């Protein structure tokens, strides 16, 4: 997925949600490139927070992926498409189990305030 694809994804999400988006990113070189900074700056509804370098402990996604990897331990998959199906299955299951997701967030020490209705 290139820069334009990702920005298109964010634009689509913004149109669908009809709300501002807060994006928390690591410092992958494509995330901090000049071109990406310019694309983000054009979108006033998009707020970007960059994590410090080498800080997987602050990224709740790391906990989610660790949970998925543990669930796939000791499996031998003969084809990449089968692995994709298994990963998608594990991620779908997580949508309905808030405890591992909340644990991944609380493990970072970060907190999300409950959303409030717009005034």
Q: Kindly state whether residues 59 and 108 are assigned to the same domain.
A: yes
Q: How far is residue 35's CA from residue 11's CA, in Å, rounded to a whole number?
A: 16
In degrees, rounded to 5, the angle at the alpha carbon of residue 47 between the alpha carbons of residues 18 and 103 is 90
Each residue of 55-101: pLDDT tens digit? Answer: 777 777 778 888 888 888 887 877 888 888 888 888 888 888 877 77
Q: Kindly state whether residues 63 and 46 are assigned to the same domain.
A: no
User: Is 106 domain-assigned?
Assistant: yes
Where in the sequence is the domain holding 15, given as residue range(s)?
1-53
In the chain, the number of structural domains is 2
In degrees, rounded to 5, the angle at the alpha carbon of residue 37 between the alpha carbons of residues 6 and 31 is 55
Q: Kindly state whether residues 89 and 105 are assigned to the same domain.
A: yes
pLDDT reported for residue 42: 93
Cβ atoms of 60 and 34 closer than 8 Å: no
* pLDDT-derived band at 27, boundaries 50, 70, 90: confident
Q: How far is residue 23's CA from residue 21's CA, in Å, rounded to a whole number?
A: 6
Name the DSSP letter for residue 44: T
pTM above 0.75, yes or no: no
* pLDDT-derived band at 12, boundaries 50, 70, 90: very high
Q: How far is residue 58's CA from residue 118's CA, in Å, rounded to a whole number?
A: 29
The better pLDDT of the pair 118, 23 is held by 23
User: Is 118 domain-assigned?
Assistant: no
Q: How far is residue 117's CA from residue 106's CA, in Å, rounded to a whole number?
A: 24
The better pLDDT of the pair 1, 86 is held by 86
């Amino acid at each position: 997925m290139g820069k334009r694809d990702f920005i298109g994804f964010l634009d689509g999400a913004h149109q669908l949600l009809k709300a501002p988006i807060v994006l928390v990113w690591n410092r992958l070189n494509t995330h901090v490139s000049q071109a990406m900074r310019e694309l983000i700056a054009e979108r006033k509804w998009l707020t970007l927070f960059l994590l410090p370098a080498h800080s997987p402990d602050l990224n709740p996604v790391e906990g989610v992926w660790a949970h998925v990897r543990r669930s796939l331990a000791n499996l031998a998959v003969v084809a990449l498409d089968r692995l994709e199906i298994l990963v998608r299955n594990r991620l779908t299951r997580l949508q309905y189990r808030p405890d591992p997701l909340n644990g991944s967030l609380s493990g970072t020490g970060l907190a999300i305030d409950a959303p409030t209705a717009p005034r």
